[in-house]
A and B are shown apart, each in its own frame.
Chain A
Amino acid sequence: MSTATLNAAEHQASGRAAAWLKRLPLLPALIFMIIVTQLPFVATLVISFIHWNALYPNDVTFTWFDNYAQVFTDAQFWSSALTTVLMTVIVVLVSLVIGLIIAVLLDRSFRGRAIVRTIMIAPFLIVPIAAALVWKHAIFNPSYGLLNGILTWIWGLFGQAAAAPQPDWVSSQPLMAVCAALIWQWTPFMMLILLAGLQGRPLDVIEAARIDGASTWQIFRFMTLPHLRPYLELSALLGCIYIVQNFDAVFTITSGGLGTANLPYTIYQTFFEAHDYGQASAEGVVVVIASMAIAILVLRTVSSLLREEKR
Chain B
Amino acid sequence: MPTMKRKHLRAVAGLAVATATLVALAGCSGAGGSGGSGGSADGSGSTIRVLMVNNPQMVDLQKLTNDNFTKKTGIKVKYTVLPEDSLRAKASQEFSAQAGQYDVATISNYEVPFYSTNGWLLSLSDNVAKDSKFDQSDILKPIQDALTGSDGKVYAEPFYGESSMLYYRKDVFAKQGLTMPANPTWAQVADLAKKLNDVEPGMAGICLRGQPGWGQNIAPLTTVVNTMGGTWFDKNWNAEVDKDGFATAANFYVNLVKNYGEKGAAQAGYTECLNDLTQGKAAMWYDATAAAGSLEASDSPVAGKIGYAAAPVDKTKNSGWLYSWAWGIEKASKNATAAEKFIEWASGPDYAKQAAKAYGWAQVPPGTRTSLYENADYQKSAAAFYKQVENAIKSADPENPGVQKRPAPGIQFVAIPEFANLGTDASQQISDAIAGKTTVDAALKSIQTEAQKVGDTYKKKQK
Q: Which residues of A contact B (CB under 8 A)?
A: 2-3, 6, 9-10, 17, 21, 24-25, 28, 53-57, 75-76, 141-143, 162, 166, 168, 170-172, 174, 254-259, 261, 269, 272-276
Known contacts A2-B13, A259-B432; A274/B421 CB under 8 A = yes
8 Å CB contact of B275 from A9, A55, A143: A143
**Contact: B9 with A6, CB < 8 Å?**
yes
**Are A6 and B13 in contact, with the CB atoms below 8 A?**
yes
Among A6, A56, A258, A273, the residue within 8 A (CB) of B420 is A273
With A and B bound together, what is the CA distance between A257 and B426 in angstroms?
Answer: 10
Asked if B385 is at the interface of the complex by the 8 Å CB criterion, the answer is: no
Q: List 24 A-B contacts (CB under 8 A).
A: A6-B12, A6-B16, A9-B9, A17-B5, A54-B97, A55-B417, A56-B118, A142-B264, A143-B263, A143-B275, A143-B276, A168-B266, A168-B435, A170-B266, A170-B267, A171-B431, A171-B435, A255-B211, A256-B428, A269-B421, A273-B89, A273-B421, A274-B420, A276-B421
For B17, list chain A residues within 8 Å (CB): 2
**A6: nearest chain-B partner, CB-CB:** B13
Contact residues of B: prevailing secondary structure: helix
Per-residue CB contact flags for chain B residues 430-463 toward chain A (1 = under 8 Å, else 0) read 0110110100000000100000000000000000
Q: Contacts A54-B96, A168-B264, A275-B417: A2 and B16 contacting too (C-beta < 8 A)?
A: yes
Contact between chains at A170 and B264 (CB < 8 Å): yes
Q: Are B264 and A272 in contact (CB under 8 A)?
A: no
Contacts of B432 in A (CB 8 A): 257-259
Q: Sorted from nearest, which 5 A-B pairs have the closest CB atoms? A: A2-B16, A257-B212, A142-B264, A171-B266, A54-B96
Cβ-closest chain B residue relative to A25:
B12
Query: Which A-chain residue is minimally distant from B98 (CB atoms)?
Result: A57
B19 touches A168 (CB 8 A): no
Cα A21 to Cα B4 with chains together (Å) = 11
0/1 interface trace, chain B 233-268, chain A, CB 8 Å (1 if under): 000000000000000000000000000000111110
Q: Which B residues are within 8 Å of any A CB, using their own CB?
A: 5, 8-9, 12-13, 15-17, 19-20, 85, 88-89, 92-93, 96-97, 114, 118, 201-202, 211-213, 263-267, 272, 275-276, 279, 281, 417-418, 420-421, 424-425, 427-428, 431-432, 434-435, 437, 446
Bound state CA distance, A254 and B267, in angstroms?
A: 8
Q: Is the CB of B92 within 8 A of A55?
A: yes
Can you name 15 extra interface pairs (CB under 8 A) apart from A2-B17, A257-B432?
A2-B13, A2-B20, A54-B92, A54-B97, A143-B263, A143-B264, A143-B276, A168-B266, A171-B265, A171-B431, A256-B212, A257-B266, A257-B428, A259-B437, A269-B421
Complex CA gap A257/B429 in Å reads 8
Q: Are A28 and B16 in contact (CB under 8 A)?
A: yes
For the complex, what is the distance from the CA of A110 to the CA of B454, rounded to whole Å?
A: 65
Q: Which residues of A contact B435 (CB under 8 A)?
A: 168, 171-172, 174, 258
Complex: A17 Cα to B9 Cα, angstroms: 12
| Inter-chain contact A55/B118, CB cutoff 8 Å | yes
CA distance A2 to B10 in the complex (A): 12
Q: Are B85 and A255 in contact (CB under 8 A)?
A: yes
Partner of A257, one of B9, B20, B427: B427
Name the residue of chain A whose CB is nearest to the CB of B216.
A255
- B8 CB, min distance to chain A CBs, angstroms: 6
Closest B residue, CB atoms, query A17: B5
Instruction: Tell me the bound Cα distance from A259 to B118 in angstroms.
Output: 34
